[in-house]
Structure 1
Amino acid sequence: LVLIAKRVKDMYLTLSGLISPKSDVKLRNMSGPIGIVNHLSLFAKIGFKKLLWFVVFVNVNLAILNLLPVPVLDGGHMVFATIEKLRGKPLPIAFLERTQILFVALIFSFMLYVTFFDVRRIFPF
Structure 2
Amino acid sequence: MVCLLVQRRLMVLLLSASLIALVGCGQGKNENLGEVSGTITLDGEPLKHAVITFQPQGGRPAFGKTGDDGKYTLMYSASEAGATIGLNKVTITNGGERRNEETDEVWYQKEQVPPKYNARTELEYDVKPGAQTYDVVLET
**TM-score, normalised with respect to structure 2:** 0.24
**Bigger relative CO (Cα 8 Å, ≥ 6 apart):** 1
**TM-score, normalised with respect to structure 1:** 0.25
Larger radius of gyration: 2
Which of the pair is proportionally richer in strand? 2
